[in-house]
Amino acid sequence: MRSVNTTQETLPSTGIIGHAGALALLDRSREAGRLAHAYIFVGPRHVGKMALALYLAKSVNCQGEGRPPCDVCSQCRRIGSGWHVDVQVIDTSSEGESDEDKTDKTRIGIGKVRELQRQVSLRPYEGVCRVFIVDGAELLTHEAANSLLKSLEEPPEGVLFVLLATDETSVLPTILSRCQRIELSPMPTDDLAQTLTSRYAVQEENARLIARLSGGCTGWAISAAQDDSVLGARIDSLDVLIELADSDLEGRFQYASKLSQLYSNDKQGVRDLMDLWTLWWRDLILTWAGQGDVATNLHRNDKLEEQSLRYSLDAIQMFIKRIKEARHYLERNVNPRTALEWLMLGFPEAQTAG
Amino acid sequence: MITEVLYRKWRPQTLADVVGQEHVTQTLLNALAQERVAHAYLFCGPRGTGKTSTARILAKAVNCLKNGRGEPCNDCHICQAVTGGSALDLIEIDAASNRGIDEVRDLRERANYSPSEARFKIYIIDEVHMMTTPAFNALLKTLEEPPPHIIFILATTEAHKLPLTIVSRCQRFDFRRISQEATLGRLETICQAEGVEPDPWVLRFISRASGGSLRDAENLLEQLMVSYGNRIEPRHVRELLGISAEMPLEVFIASMLRGDVAESLRILHGVVEQGANLRYFQRELLEYLRSLMMVVAGAEDVVDIPAEEMTSLKGLAPEIGLEDVTRALHIFSGVDLKADGAGPFALETALVEVCLGLGKRIARPEASARFSDSSKESLEKPPAPVKESPPPIQQTTDLPPETVATPRPEAREPDEPAGPEPSPPDDEERPGPEPVPINDIDVFRRRWPELVDALKGQGSKGSLDALLRNACEPIAIEGETLVVGFYYPFHKSKIEDPKYRHLVEKKVSEVFGAPYKIRCDLVTRESPPPPARTPDHGPLVQAALEMGARVLDDGLEKAN
């Protein structure tokens, strides 16, 4: 278990972008004195789950005047900076009591939950309310999730659980049913673009592009707005993927081997690339169907147009499936190079007849 | 600040309060009345159906000071201690956290002591499916013949994970999913007591959405109460669940099963833009497809839907084949929105799949509407976000949007596996009216093998010729530069290496009698390996060439 990691706090502490509904619900609950003891925030990566959890932690512990969280009182600031003893984040990297927890970095093991349970029984130390944020409820092992059930259902007074989940379907249903579920959906891209322009002084066209690429997930959008290289890297990797269409089998195999090397160091990086690619092909479908305006990669609509003419709808659809399958193979520990080469072999043929 | 949520506040306190499990509560009441309470119970069933609650009530009922042979009084100090969670003789064990054999040993040891104040010592072992196998086995003997003052109540959602030897030692009660009416009744009671007046539709909706779990239903009601106060209206529910959007399902399905990809995509995006919850959209879509399937199959009496929906279904049904509906149903039910990220992407591909499977030819819509003017504007002033990425801009100008309108001009050129950069040299390769001295390049082509042979024995391993043989061809002469087209990047990169390029350049000047610089490009091979330069010779000539003949008259190639 560790304290809040400040790097996860990508938002400025002053506010949360979007999620008006969720904020209103939490604020109203708190004002009416009807906060539940357990919440689960469900939403895609980078959508702002952790930011909202910290917001909640601050608002229950805030000692400032006016509408909490004030963000100026020591409680708020300590929570924001990750030093508050009573606000704790449990995720895959936190320390557990058993050896098993130290080795497996991809799941949250029962040891961590036992440690959490010990903490649950303690009184708040400096704040009003102990807040336990489980970052990645779907990453709890079966044992860990089950052993959380009883505490989650009836914790002692002054304990608040906030679970964050990206993939709700892999969360134990008995866990879900014990929490108040709040869904955080990606922001409408137009609103996000506007926020980026007004709050982060991003140029308008860039803001539009970032907003679309982020898919409405504010976390990524903000890091892209603040750091040019994030967007640049994404554009560059997309360019490479686009070029593959004009490459021959050898070029594609070379790329596959490059990717497989990358995969051994940076699995998420490759997954992101595959997602990026899938998005590209999806854009091709949209362009094909005359819906280019909702495409994500608008900055390359010349290529979109060109490639959508080149492939039949059938071929595009098949290849999207194939990417998905290849991803699936990678998750199942198939030799990455084999999986990726297999993917490349399925690269669609350009259609010959009009 | 943090209050008890509804599911804790409204935990049933008598057996009669337990909703929808009459088969369990009645049996238990009878057992209590006849003082024939068993020493071990197993409660299993889905989440939120009342297992733990019933276990606690049973603990009260057997120990109740006033009654003891029926419902607990909830008044005596033992009942109140149990409700308040402070009873000494009710030991509630979280088997998921205490799952090992040591915990069971400890339990067995303590089980021998008599209860401290009540008649029976009750062990509630919750989430019992998580115990380890040794722990289960260590429990067997105690479970079979416990001391007379002990009652075990095991509770779990996953009874199939228990060893049969455990199950057979307990009286097993299966808790059922709570029916919609029962849930509705309970919600109404809660609302009355809490002073909430929801629209009747709201409660019906909640009980339908809860899937038979009372806890889920109460959670949803709680959120609604907190968010919208005492008067809950249907629009509130829609707002909270993100289903405020109108679902144009009929039009959507009609256009999809017509094979109109563009139109159905448009409808889908309309729904997305309204901020609809896509999983809800999927669920509604499946419901609708199911009803449609029933109607198409002629089993409309099975479908329980409002009359107006039925008329719209019947209007749709005649145009639609049963096979197509069923397939659509199948494909959409396989859509996992969570696994594919949050966007509508998964639904889009499913929709395309349905359309493709119709066996019709799917027409591509008119090209003119592909990008609207507004997005074209953004094309013309493309984002220049980072310095490192100017390429997109240049390429944008390379291929102006005007090509959009013409069906498929050069777009098909790179069809054949082409080099990664099908740039200028690629064009010059095709002999055209360019100001390239054609004769010269033909000379080069013809005498190329000589050069290759001359390179034999050169290079670090004496195999420089191998890098050039069948791997390249001269494609153009630009002033003093000879452009050599390579089929594979590997060979190209080798020859581009200065030390080899130097050797080749030397040989070129020896063979052709004039100094040339070499530039390497990637090209598409025009014909199968051996005679790369004679794509259009007939098979006879081809064979002759392979046997060492040479074409003297260039007529053929020129005509080409």
Q: Are B531 and B516 in contact (CB under 8 A)?
A: no
Fold of A230-345: Zinc Finger, Delta Prime; domain 3 (1.20.272)
Q: What sign has the CA pseudo-torsion B422, B427, B429, B430?
A: positive
3-state helix, strand, coil in chain B (%, to 5): 55, 10, 40
Annotated domain spans of chain A: 2-183, 189-226, 230-345
Phi, psi of A18 (to 5 degrees): 75, -160
Architecture field, domain A2-183: 3-Layer(aba) Sandwich (3.40)
CA atoms of A32 and A22, how far apart (whole Å): 15
Contact of A116 with A132, CB cutoff 8 Å: yes
- Cα–Cα distance, B380 to A42 (Å, whole number): 39
B517 torsion bin: left (phi>0), alpha (psi -120 to 50), beta (else): beta
Q: pLDDT tens across B365-422, in order?
A: 665 445 554 444 443 434 444 333 333 333 333 434 443 333 433 443 444 444 444 4
Other Cβ atoms closer than 10 A to B520: 21
Cα B243–chain centre separation: 20
First-to-last alpha carbon distance for chain A, in angstroms, is 61
**Secondary structure (3-state) at A220:** helix
> ipTM score here?
0.74
DSSP A348: P
| pLDDT, tens digit (0-9, with 9 covering 90-100), for B510-539 | 777 777 778 888 777 655 444 444 455 566
Q: Is B548 on the interface with A (CB under 8 A)?
A: no
Any A CB within 8 A of B363 CB: no
The arithmetic mean of pLDDT across residues B261-281, rounded, is 81
Calculate the CA dihedral of residues B164, B168, B171, B175 and round it to 10 degrees.
Answer: 20
With a CB-CB cutoff of 8 Å, which residues 284-343 of chain A face chain B?
A: 285-294, 298-303, 305-306, 309-310, 313-314, 316-317, 320-321, 324
Q: For residue A44, give every residue at least 6 positions away whose Cβ sits within 8 Å of its Cβ, in sequence order, or none.
A: A166, A186, A215, A217, B341, B342
Token couple for B534? 């004679």
**pTM, entire model:** 0.68
First to last CA, chain B: 87
Per-residue CA distances from B292 to B259, B311, B348 (Å): 17, 11, 21
pLDDT digits (tens, 9 = 90+) for B320-332: 888 888 999 999 9
Q: How many residues does chain B have?
A: 560
Torsion of the alpha carbons at B216, B221, B225 and B226, rounded to the nearest 10:
10
| Contact status, residue A252 vs residue B328, Cβ threshold 8 Å | no
- The average pLDDT across A247-275 equals 87
Query: Which A residues, 64 through 103, put their C-beta within 8 Å of a C-beta on chain B?
Result: none
| Cβ atoms of B18 and B12 closer than 8 Å | yes
How many Cα atoms occupy the beta-carbon half-sphere of A57 within 13 Å?
Answer: 35
> Which residue ranges form the domains of chain B, and what is each CATH number?
6-174 (3.40.50.300), 180-241 (1.10.8.60), 249-356 (1.20.272), 426-525 (3.30.300.180)
Residue B339 has pLDDT above 50, yes or no: yes
What is the phi/psi pair of residue B261, to 5°? -60, -45
Q: Which of residues 45-84 of B touch A (CB under 8 A)?
A: 47-48
pLDDT score of B51 = 93
Q: Smallest Cβ distance to B94: which of A150, A250, A324?
A: A150
**Sequence-separated (6 or more) residues with CB below 8 Å from residue B142:** B107, B108, B111
Element (H, E) at B57: helix B51-63
C-alpha A21/C-alpha A31 separation (Å) is 15
Which residues, numbered 185 to 244 in chain A, qualify as contacts with chain B under a Cβ-Cβ cut-off of 8 Å? 185-186, 188, 203, 205-206, 208-210, 215-217, 228-229, 231-232, 235-236, 239, 243
Q: Are B414 and A239 within 8 A, CB to CB?
A: no
Q: In chain B, what residues touch A192 (CB-CB under 8 Å)?
A: none
Please answer yes or no on whether A313 and B403 come within 8 Å at the CB atom: no
What secondary structure does DSSP assign to B296-338, as a single string? HTT-GGG----HHHHHHHHHHGGG--HHHHHHHHHHHHT--TT
pLDDT for A194-208, tens place per residue? 888 888 888 888 888
Percent of chain B whose predicted confidence (pLDDT) is above 90: 28
Between CA B200 and CA A138 the distance in angstroms is 35
- Whether B406 and chain A come into contact, CB under 8 Å, resolves to no
Residues of B in contact with A223 (CB under 8 A): none
User: Taking all residues of chain B, what is their mean pLDDT, rounded to a whole number?
Assistant: 78
